[in-house]
Amino acid sequence: MRIDLTDRTAVVTGSSQGIGHAIATGLAQAGARVVLTGRGASSLDDAAGRLRGTVPDAEIVTVVGDLATEDGAATLADAVPETDILVNNLGIYGSRPPLEITDAEWRAYFDVNVLSAVRLTRHYLPGMMGRGWGRVQNIASDSAVVIPAEMIQYGMSKTSLLAVSRGFAKAAAGTGVTVNSVIVGPTHTGGVEDFVYELVDRSLPWEEAQREFMRLHRPQSLLQRLIEPEEIANMVVYLSSPQASATTGGALRVDGGYVDAILP
């Protein structure tokens, strides 16, 4: 399958590293003009340099701002008034005993993981609908379905994204615009190797260590290894393509079979 996103603009939030950067790279490889976003100019400059190292002819725009705030969303909207593809990847996570989660922490998780996506969708979706083409994707998590006991505030936010995606897909019905969520499973992102080696024998080579980690601590995974960010990017690039025109309102899984269900 050859995916061509030439002449398309793609905004990817939280794209200076990890899954967001892999998604931006995949979209650039397909020919899209990509907009990298983050809170630090230096980290975005570094991200743009790494992306150009992979895709030398990539057209890249960087926008600095805190997209968890109204001002940050306005900054992005001013810099990039319209887009063809919006990938809401920005998110925070962390463990916390459920009865110790404060009101402020509940609000922070909702603001960053949910409301940031709602604001940008509310801004960009009308233009997509008016032009008769567009793609919106919200990066969710297996935690949306399998709520972790140690971070229910995170699980709540990702469950909310599934509802948001379905609702906006209905708002865009019949317009040529699709809205979907992507359910991501345990992923090999920055810092995860240190985390894995805190739980398994440090003398093991990485490939063996991650499989041991998955066997002991994520046994429900059918993949039995961590997912690479590029594998998530592959799904996002496909959903951004003309080939995915009949896929909307869905929650598509790139979870390595982690969620033990036929449907989300």
Q: Map tokens 């009949």 to a residue.
A: 246
CA-CA distance, 105 to 192, in Å (whole number)? 23
Can you give 183-231 as a three-state secondary structure string? Answer: EECCECCCCHHHHHHHHCCCCCCHHHHHHHHHHHHCCCCCCCCCECHHH
Beta strands in 48-205 (DSSP E): 60-64, 85-88, 134-141, 177-184
What tokens appear for 241 in the block? 């393509």
Contact 110, 153 (CB under 8 A): no
First-last CA distance in the chain: 26
Query: For residue 133, which of 229, 36, 244, 254 has the smallest C-alpha distance?
Result: 244
Question: Where in the chain does DSSP place strands (E)?
Answer: 9-12, 33-38, 60-64, 85-88, 134-141, 177-184, 251-254
Catalytic residues: 154
Provide the CA 212 distance to its chain's centre, in angstroms.
26
